[in-house]
Amino acid sequence: MTLPRVKTRSHAAAPSESARRSVHVVTFGCQMNKYDSLLVEGRFVTSGYDLTDRMEDADVILFNTCSVRDHAEERVYSWVGALRKAKEERPDLVIGVMGCMAQRAEEEIFQRATHVDLVCGTRQLQNLPSLVDEVFERRRCAQDPTAIEGVLGTDMEGRVRVDRRGEPYAGGLVGHLAVMRGCDLNCTYCVVPTTRGRVQSHPIDDLLIEARWMVDGGARVVSLLGQTVNSYGEDLPKPAPCEPRFSGRQGRASLADLLRRLQDVEGLERIRLITLHPSYVTQALAEAIRDCDKLDRFLPLPAQSGSDEQLKRMKRGYTTDLYRARVDLLRAEVPDIELGSDWIVGFPGETDDDFEASLAFLHEIEFVQNYVFQYSPRPGTRAHGYADDVALAVKKERNQRLLAASERTALRRHERFIGADVDVFVESESPKHPGRLRGRSRHNIPVSFDGPAALIGATAQVRVGEASAYGLTGVRCSED
């Protein structure tokens, strides 16, 4: 791990009242955290702050954190600890920890890192500029600015509303749109309900405004984010009798409704989804996926385990038979759909037979993409009270076996495209191979081919010549 090296600026005095302060955000973790970091940066810009890519030039340094595994939190403490000397040399510097770890640990962060000025949870991110201003105000009024208490903002009450039209879009060609926050499922291994709270879905009209703002700013692909994105709308009120009816349960707005509305956003080329839950796969959703040609034919639908006993201990809310039924429903409406999965190996009580069931299930469903995680206990989860009874060496061995099986399955799925022409949304140049472009197919498979940089941000048709477990390689059809 590389830690930050922050040099003292030539002038260590605090900015004058007329100077604009600058902010630097370091992001750890998932796509939702990347979305939140952009949201926070936009709030600071509209509040009169500047953004800087150089940590040593920042007046405010914020760490947007992940709490899924202990290792993720220890990385943050290492980065924050590396700033202790910089804070001694620049007492005007503001150091803050925000996001999931901040929500979970709260006061513990101040105790372990006494030079931290601010801790901000997941439901207060939009208020960060005012919280930072409070730090500066406390310093201004204190007789000893180095002895003031840290500012804590971890209130989970209230609904987060997002209106970003007054800020510049900085998300690139592939934008991320959080359609909801939190999770109500309480899987026994997961800390998200603790760190992000209960589900709050954003109204469809608000999401359409944000999606159009992204497209106007240059986005051509929008990934819809949610811990269980296909449960979108379950918490929203039913429409009044005079309002449009929706296709969701009991007439509430649903992900299917949102997808159909996004179809009409001019300039939006593709829609992606992260992440779905088997329990919320419905006929209406499958039909919307079928009908919405902007939606990629790939769904991340985590199984987590192929053992019914383990799924019960994880409190996932489905059996392998129910999962199969959901897959059959999807493939009946969208025969070419590709699926991805997350897996946990070494969950408490996992036997050799349980693990073999996961291997068999991976092969049966033929997931094209798999992420494998070794279980680690997390405070605040029900499984934290379970005996962590699978040896680390066994976890590592199962991890490697599942990854090897994933590679074999991915290669089989990818080889089906050899000789076919696929539409590739071009996202970037290859950093290692000049003249080579990288993008993704409609099935979210990485594709590389030679072509001019002018194609970045457009869709190119590529004839696939080679396949590996990690993607496809081909040539532009116009160059055959």
Q: Which residue has the higher pLDDT, 269 or 144?
A: 269
End-to-end CA gap in the chain: 45
**Taking residues 435-458, what's their average pLDDT?**
96
pLDDT tens, residue by residue, 26-50: 999 899 999 999 999 999 999 999 9
CA-to-CA separations, 117 to 3, 81, 152, 320, 391, in angstroms, rounded: 20, 13, 9, 48, 39
Per the CB < 8 A criterion, the answer to whether 305 and 356 are in contact is: no
- The model's confidence at residue 276, banded by pLDDT at 50, 70 and 90, is very high
pLDDT tens, residue by residue, 158-170: 667 778 888 889 9
Cα angle for residues 64, 67, 69 (degrees, 5° grid):
135
**Taking residues 253-261, what's their average pLDDT?**
96
| pLDDT value of residue 144 | 73
| pLDDT value of residue 12 | 39
| pLDDT value of residue 480 | 47
| pLDDT value of residue 293 | 96
Q: What percent of the chain has pLDDT over 90?
A: 81
Per the CB < 8 A criterion, the answer to whether 28 and 102 are in contact is: no
Q: What percent of the chain has pLDDT over 70?
A: 93
| pLDDT value of residue 242 | 66
Least confident of 150-154, 308-312, 471-475: 150-154
Residues linked to residue 25 through DSSP beta bridges, in sequence order: 62
Distance CA 363, CA 366 (A): 5
Torsion of Cα atoms, 412 then 303 then 403 then 192, to 10°: 140
The whole-chain average pLDDT of the chain stands at 92
Which strands make up the sheet holding 60-65, listed edge to edge? 50-51, 22-27, 60-65, 94-99, 118-120, 151-153
pLDDT tens, residue by residue, 97-130: 999 999 999 999 999 999 999 999 999 998 999 9
- The model's confidence at residue 240, banded by pLDDT at 50, 70 and 90, is low
Residues linked to residue 468 through DSSP beta bridges, in sequence order: 471
Per the CB < 8 A criterion, the answer to whether 125 and 178 are in contact is: no
pLDDT of residue 464 exceeding 60: yes
**53-92 burial code (b ≥16 CB/10 A, e <16):** eebeebbbbbbbbbbbbeebbebbbebbeebeebbeebee
SS3 240: coil
Q: If you average pLDDT over each of 70-79, 143-152, 157-166, 407-416, which comes out highest?
A: 407-416
Domains of the chain and CATH, by start: 22-153 (3.40.50.12160), 162-296 (3.30.750.210), 421-479 (2.40.50.140)
pTM of this structure = 0.90
Q: Which residue has the higher pLDDT, 96 or 8?
A: 96
pLDDT of residue 14 exceeding 50: no
Q: Which residue has the higher pLDDT, 11 or 214?
A: 214
pLDDT of residue 422 exceeding 50: yes
Residue 25 CA, chain-centre distance (Å), reads 16
